[in-house]
Structure 1
Amino acid sequence: MIVDAAGNLHAAAGTVEGGRFAGKVATAPTGSLSYEPDDDAESEVAVRSVYTIPPGNLQPFLHKVELANRKLARAGIAERFELSTERRIIHSPDGSMMREVVDVTVNTPSISFAGWRYRSVTTRAANGQLLTFGGGQAASELACDYCGHTRARSKIINLQNEETGEWAHIGTNCLKLFLGVRPEGLWSLTEDFAASELADDDRDWSPGSMDSRVYDATALLAFTIAVADANGGFVSAARATREKPATADAVTRLLENHAELPPGSAERAAEVLAWIDQLDDSSDYQQTLRSLFTPDPDGNRVIGRKHIRLAASAVGSQAASAARELRAREARNVAEAAVKSYLAPAGTALKGLGVRARVVSVRQGVDYGYGAPDHVTLLDQNGHTLYWKASAGALPEGLVEGAQVELTSGTVKENRVSDFNGVWETVLTRLKATVLTDVASAAD
């Protein structure tokens, strides 16, 4: 009897007692592992592992895979780890919260040597159960078909002969004796990329896990509209104050506290979504906004926590777009009705002239610390276009779009051709007007 390098007893004739492959020591020369795909794709047993990780851990995960592929290259193995990713939304146990996770499917390289292909690895779990990573015929016990011993080994390598289809379950210490070479790269069959430190814990819904939280897009826009209405408009982070916090920050708190949507806000949010869906790619912002609100494969519109500020800006952008369209429509209406003449020469006083006009538009300007002025466009009974920049608070009650007014005093400041729509317009100053018919009365 002799003792081999693995510590097993051999009979004098060179056979190993009890092993199914006793006496079948390989005579193949020492070499490196190789990968040669089978012609029959169905004979391949793919070794796949699926890891569920937070989106923020995807790059560290990819880095670990890259390092593993470099290790395969150094071992002379041609094949590489390949992976695919799929993002999905998971819900908290009570259904009140959502967050995004990434399922990463990793295909482990299939390697072979001397006619034997490595299919899988069988190991024992802490509860005593056997686990096989891969596919094909798994070992029923941690018994080696070469030495015939069943002992407290950590794993059995499951191989299949590529010509005969025969299976062999070999202990790691006997691989060199069985194959004639100590193969490198078998670690790849059970590589788990230390996934535990990157994995998503679906039980964790604490504040520390908020980076991967996602929120319903309609609710986000609805809260944005409600907050903007309450604060007199959208407040950006740059213009935020203690009295008027940034709109996006207030929206985030409402979402995380599961507040109820204000009445009517969901309908208005739907209008914003419809506007986003029709955006073109004329600007980087529009392209990004449309991509951000694109439904996921399940048809859900969800926004990640880190993109709340960008998503909330859509409300202000849609309102600005609507205002631009309104001004353009008003400009076309004025241009169609206007005449190429002026009301009166510059310096003319309006008192006593009996000028009557219809209010075409009232637009609030920018507040530079003295109150926001109002830009008023009117059309008189003779088709003259009149323009008045009214100081903050100077508009009489009822002077709104569509109202009929009489200009009781004021002065013609200048006459000009508008750079905006090419209309001949008379610029008025120190104007006083009496509202003759408000919009409601006119409708009646």
Structure 2
Amino acid sequence: MTEHDHIDGYREWFLSGEELDATRTKIAALNRRAVGRGFTGRIKVEARPATRSHVPAQGAPTVTEHGFAVTISGEPPCYSGWRFIAAADVIPQRPATAADQPAGAAADSPGIAAGAARVVLRYAPGADPIDNATVRPGECDHCHTVRARGTTILVQHERSGELRQVGRSCLKDFLGHTALPVFIDADQIADQVERSMRGAQQAAAWDLHSVLTYAWATVETYGWAPASSPHSTRDLVAEALAGGPRSTEVLASIRAKLPEGEQMAPRIVTDLVNGLEGRGGYEANLLSILNAGVVDRRKHLGLAVSTITAWHRISQANARSAKPEPSRTIGYAGEIGAAITLSGTITTAMWIDGYHRNSPPQRLIILDCGDAVAKMITAAGWADDIDRGEPLTVTATVKAHTDYDGVPQTVLVRPKRLDHPQVADPRPAPAGPVWEQVRQVPPQARFQTAPLASGPPPTPDLAV
């Protein structure tokens, strides 16, 4: 949320859609409380779609944000035919000094009069500004006295247009009310709105062209990283778009690819709008972002950033379909339940989440074996080092025979990589069976040497 002065002197904010909703809710609550206290005016929020731009770093492409230009307006309260215009606060006087005389002015030039009072006017919502010089500080048109008053109220008759200033202590008598009328100025409303928004501000929505420019440069520099990664592509793009100290490192890394991203952004939108056909799911959501041209940072940034990978997939598919390939017949490999060995080229190697919450990520591998296509999912360590286009030989068990886009696929389970496939022995096989010669082993005693000497047992020695 940012604030600046409106061309007509009113305060204006640049809010996101969520901030605008919160502001309207806050103003509605203020209106209800003010009416309960006798407030007869009306406070309203006026908003119109707007954009703003900033440069995250010197030399970087401009980032455009979409949001709403918001002002607080309404109708000033009216009591007994007198409409409240503003509260005039008197600034404390100070003695005039030489510094008050304009540079080069004569000593007797008026400059700023000694002890001149200054006033600040706090207008009611919807009130028209008036000349500050017409205000007479400290004077009341009801009691006709001049004294040190901190604030006087400026009121205007709703029929004659007569403007009067009345001291706060004289308001009840002037209007004939038994209670002090309620006055709420625009600054009080703005302060309450800003206080309620403090700490909950959200960036306005980014322009799709800006998001795609920085997303292209980020993917080309760092590669694609899903939202579950510590440094996901979505988070890196958000830092680059927002600018500031945290984005310095990211912007320095992707700077060389940003001009290319600016050129690719409109082409990506055109290709995907013409190439995506989904009426539901991911493709339908992506088409909604592309057609809207606006990206909500908190809700849709990840979806918008994935446009880059979606464009790469469609471009590769179009390139394969445009390239003539010799006709071939693809069938199933092996019988279900059989152990087989397949060799081919990896056409897909992507990471997917595990089956359970705490299970490790797994690798989905599609292997083109020429006359067969094999599909396998594994969390084995050897799958960490493979990439598309590389050759691969695996031994696995056939789980099922399925079809994908009309192409037969052989689903494998428990695949094991064969780094060095067995090569057939070039030596010719023997003509007949070879029998091993077995020689009989002669019988042997359990002990090779008798444990006791042979002969009759010794005569026991009898002692007398």
Alignment of 1:386 with 2:372, yes or no, is: yes
Q: 1:170 to 1:413 in 2, by over 3 A?
A: closer
Deviation at 1:140, TM superposition (A): 2.4
1:141 pairs with one of 111, 126, 136: 136
Work out whether 1:122 is the aligned partner of 2:98. Answer: no
Indicate the RMSD between aligned Cα atoms, in angstroms: 6.0
Kindly indicate whether residue 214 of structure 2 is the aligned counterpart of residue 220 of structure 1: yes
State the one-letter code of the partner of 1:311: L
What is the CA-CA distance between 1:323 and the residue it aligns to?
2.9
Instruction: Give the Cα–Cα distance (whole angstroms) in 1 for the partners of residues 410 and 119 of structure 2.
Output: 91
Aligned amino acid, residue 106 of structure 1: I
* Aligned pairs (5 A) from 1:267-346: 267-268=260-261, 271=264, 275=268, 278=273, 282-283=280-281, 287=285, 291=289, 304=297, 311-312=301-302, 314-316=304-306, 318-320=308-310, 322-323=312-313, 326=316, 337=327
Determine what percentage of the aligned residue pairs are the same residue: 17
Q: How many residues in Structure 1 have an aligned counterpart in Structure 2?
A: 344
Query: Any idea what SS the aligned residue of 2:88 has?
Result: strand
Instruction: Tell me, yes or no, if structure 1 residue 105 matches structure 2 residue 94.
Output: no
- Provide the residue aligned with 1:74 in structure 2: 36
Work out the CA distance in 2 between the residues paired with 1:111 and 1:411: 83
Aligned letter for 1:224?
T
Give the match for residue 99 of structure 2: none
Change (3 A) 1:423 1:98: closer
Q: How far did residue 420 of structure 1 move?
A: 1.5
Task: Indicate how the Cα distance of structure 1 residues 295 and 121 shifts in structure 2: closer, same or farther if over 3 A, else same.
Answer: farther
Distance 1:193-1:161 versus aligned 2 partners, 3 A rule: closer
Q: How does 1:363-374 map to 2 (within 5 A)?
A: 363-366=348-351, 372=363, 374=365
Query: Is residue 171–residue 181 contact of structure 2 (8 Å, CA) maintained in 1?
Result: no
Compute the displacement of 1:114 (Å). 2.8
Provide the C-alpha distance between the structure 1 equivalents of 2:364 and 2:186, rounded to a whole number of angstroms. 71
TM-score (norm 1): 0.54
Q: Is the 8 A contact 1:51 1:105 kept in 2?
A: yes
Q: Is the 8 A contact 1:225 1:265 kept in 2?
A: no
User: Deviation of residue 82 (structure 1)?
Assistant: 0.4
- Asked if 1 retains the 8 angstrom alpha-carbon contact of 2:37 and 2:182, the reply is no
C-alpha distance after superposition, 1:183-241 (max 9, x if no partner): 654422455136189379xxxxxxx9997599852553145314542xxx41433x44x
Offset, 1:130:
2.2
Mapped to 2, the partners of 1:344 and 1:265 lie a distance apart of 47
Distance change in 2, residues 1:291/1:370 (3 Å): closer
Amino acid at match of 2:170: C
Q: How far apart in 2 are the matches of 1:228 and 1:154? A: 63
* Aligned match of 2:454: none
Matched residue SS, 1:165: coil
Instruction: Give the corresponding residue for 2:188.
Output: 192
- Please report how far the alpha carbon of residue 83 of structure 1 lies from its aligned counterpart in structure 2 after TM superposition: 1.0
Contact (CA 8 Å) 1:144, 1:156: kept in 2 or not?
A: yes
The letter for the 2-side match of 1:420 is Y
Aligned to 1:236: 227
Write out per-residue CA displacement over residues 224-260 of structure 1, whole angstroms, 9 at most, x where no aligned residue. 314542xxx41433x44xxxx4444555666534333
Query: Is the CA contact 2:12–2:69 (under 8 Å) kept in the aligned structure 1?
Result: yes
Residues 74, 284 of structure 1: alpha-carbon distance in 2 compared, 3 angstrom cutoff: farther
1:422 is aligned to 406
Q: 1:135 to 1:389 in 2, by over 3 A?
A: closer
State the distance in 1 between where 2:286 and 2:161 align.
Answer: 54
Larger radius of gyration: 2
- The 5-angstrom pairing of residues 398-409 of structure 1 reads 400=389
From 156, 159, 173, the counterpart of 1:160: 156
> Structure 1 131/94 Cα, relative in aligned 2: closer, same or farther at 3 Å?
farther
Residue ranges of structure 1 left out of the alignment (5+ in a row): 1-46, 201-207, 351-357, 380-384, 433-444
SS of aligned partner of 2:404: coil
Partner of 1:15: none
